[in-house]
């Protein structure tokens, strides 16, 4: 019996040594191919940066993505969720189906960064002429995913299963009156048959070479809301004749601020209630009949999300009633995304891969952020991981890094290779775990 156990131990040790050697070879191959393709990834990024397009209008972006994928030997589907592009790499061997996702839309922001490939694009948005810019780094996401697609195609013989590459439009939100983004992709069946999904987001205040992760909620749920306050119009000289919706709105705005400060258990999770705009009235001497309040709610778990929604409606209605006004509360109204939630078991299983790809010292546990991501719709369908990849130059203080969604947004392109390696190794290692 002792001899059998000794042999079993020797066999297990040999298998572990063989497996470790195979994995080491894989990481070296991925690193080598990533370095060979680094300039191509940077060139892709610069092209998409120079020619950005707004949500659901990424027509030329989609054409370029499809062209590059076809040049690699992929068969491509276009027109998914309006302007999305999807392709599948089939190893021909049994195994899981892994989705890798990049968002592809720009923002209505006029670029102020002095780059040879800075965006000069302008277009119409909400009836106004605006500049268009990749002010959140989606150009880098496209480039990193194309890089992973190229490497995985070259390593196809080592794969077991399928890889679905998802280039998603309208992450920043579809235009008014339109559907779009990850939610529409899910409705159109993009996640059918998929077992797991991985995604990355560039971070302008995280140092290049670094990956940040968090099990559980990493980005907030977001719910837009609208409150229409209805009063009684009158001459400004005779306010006692009116039911003043402006004064009522002012009290509602102040009341909304007590939701986070007095009703939520903030030692558990962060939350935000924001009033983004108030519109009402036309002249200094007229008390209007209506005022519109619009804003967003952000939360990091579903119970808190429902609590905030209820509180917004309750406070608006009770404050309005105390002023003899009426309100119509719509929450959610327009865009609303669930919590971006990293499956804890999947996170634990894949963390060694992330550390092996970026270096253990470069992988940092981070706190959740109150920004939102519609990648969360994919994670509602299957377990998924969403990670932050560094785009800040080494040595630059984080508080001096340009913010996302600003005209000054800028990233260090040397960080892209880390994203390519992580996406590629996550794919291969997950396949190996599920053999």
What is the pLDDT tens value at each position of the chain, 435 positions in all?
Answer: 445 545 544 444 444 444 666 677 999 999 999 999 999 999 999 999 999 999 999 999 999 999 999 999 999 999 999 999 999 999 999 999 999 999 999 999 999 999 999 999 999 998 899 999 999 999 999 999 999 999 999 999 999 999 999 999 999 999 988 999 999 999 999 999 999 999 999 999 999 999 999 999 999 999 999 999 999 999 999 999 999 999 999 999 999 999 999 999 999 899 999 999 999 999 999 999 999 999 999 999 999 999 999 999 999 999 999 999 999 999 999 879 999 999 999 999 999 999 999 999 999 999 999 999 999 999 999 999 999 999 999 999 999 999 999 999 999 999 999 999 999 999 999 999 987
Q: How far apart are CA 184 and CA 338, in angstroms?
A: 14
Q: How far apart are CA 152 and CA 423, in angstroms?
A: 10
Single out the residue of 336, 365, 333, 331 nearest to residue 348, CA to CA.
Answer: 365
The CATH code belonging to domain 22-219+339-433 is 3.40.630.10
DSSP state letters, 224-274: EEEEEEE-B-EETT-GGGSB-HHHHHHHHHHHHHHHHHHHS-TTT--EEEE
Burial of 361-400, coded b for 16+ CB within 10 Å and e otherwise, reads ebbeeeebbbebbbbbbbbeebbbbbbbbbbbbeeeeeee
pTM for the full model?
0.91
**Active-site position among 53, 373, 413, 421:** 413
pLDDT in tens, 245-267: 999 999 999 999 999 999 999 99
**Active-site position among 225, 337, 341, 386:** 337
337 is catalytic: yes
Angle (nearest 5°) at CA 36 between 35 and 42: 75
Six token digits for residue 293? 């309040």
User: Which of helix, strand or coil describes residue 373?
Assistant: coil
CA-based torsion, 365, 368, 372, 373: positive or negative? positive
The CATH code belonging to domain 221-336 is 3.30.70.360
* Structure confidence at residue 10 (pLDDT): 44
Six token digits for residue 83? 């302007």
Q: Domain extents for the chain?
A: 22-219+339-433, 221-336
């Amino acid at each position: 019996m002792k001899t059998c156990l000794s042999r079993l131990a020797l066999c297990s040790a040999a298998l572990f040594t063989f497996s470790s050697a195979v994995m080491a070879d894989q990481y070296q191959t991925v690193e080598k191919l990533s370095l060979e393709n680094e300039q191509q990834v940077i060139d892709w990024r610069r092209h998409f940066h120079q020619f950005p397009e707004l949500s659901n209008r990424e027509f030329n972006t989609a054409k370029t993505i499809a062209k590059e994928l076809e040049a690699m030997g992929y068969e491509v589907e276009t027109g998914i969720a309006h302007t999305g592009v999807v392709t599948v790499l089939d190893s021909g061997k049994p195994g899981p189906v892994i989705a890798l996702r990049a968002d592809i839309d720009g923002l209505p922001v006029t670029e102020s960064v002095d780059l040879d490939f800075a965006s000069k694009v302008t277009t119409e948005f909400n009836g106004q002429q605006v500049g268009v810019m990749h002010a959140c780094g989606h150009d880098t996401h496209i480039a990193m995913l194309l890089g992973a697609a190229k490497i995985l195609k070259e390593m196809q013989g080592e794969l077991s299963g399928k890889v679905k590459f998802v280039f998603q439009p309208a992450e920043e939100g579809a235009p008014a009156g339109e559907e779009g983004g990850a939610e529409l992709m899910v409705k159109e069946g993009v996640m059918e048959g998929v077992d797991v999904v991985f995604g990355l987001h560039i971070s302008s205040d995280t140092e290049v070479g670094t990956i940040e992760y968090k099990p559980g909620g990493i980005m907030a749920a977001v719910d837009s809301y609208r409150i229409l306050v209805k009063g009684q119009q009158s001459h400004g000289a005779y306010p006692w004749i009116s039911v003043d919706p402006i004064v009522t709105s002012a009290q509602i705005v102040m009341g909304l601020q007590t939701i986070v400060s007095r009703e939520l258990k903030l030692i558990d999770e962060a939350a935000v209630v924001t009033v983004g705009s108030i519109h009402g009235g036309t002249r200094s001497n007229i008390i209007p009949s209506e005022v519109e309040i619009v804003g967003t709610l952000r939360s990091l778990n579903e119970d808190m999300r429902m609590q905030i929604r209820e509180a917004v409606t309750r406070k608006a209605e009770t404050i309005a009633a105390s002023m003899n006004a009426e309100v119509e509360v719509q929450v959610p109204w327009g865009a609303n995304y669930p919590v971006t939630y990293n499956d804890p078991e999947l996170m634990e299983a894949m963390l060694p891969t992330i550390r092996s790809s970026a270096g253990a010292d470069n992988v940092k546990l981070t706190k959740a952020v109150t920004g939102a991501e519609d990648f969360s719709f994919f994670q509602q369908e299957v377990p998924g991981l969403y990670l932050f990849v560094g785009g800040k130059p080494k040595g630059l203080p984080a508080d001096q890094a340009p913010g996302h969604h600003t005209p000054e947004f800028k990233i260090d392109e040397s960080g892209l290779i880390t994203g390519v390696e992580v996406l590629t190794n996550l794919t291969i290692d997950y396949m190996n775990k599920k053999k």
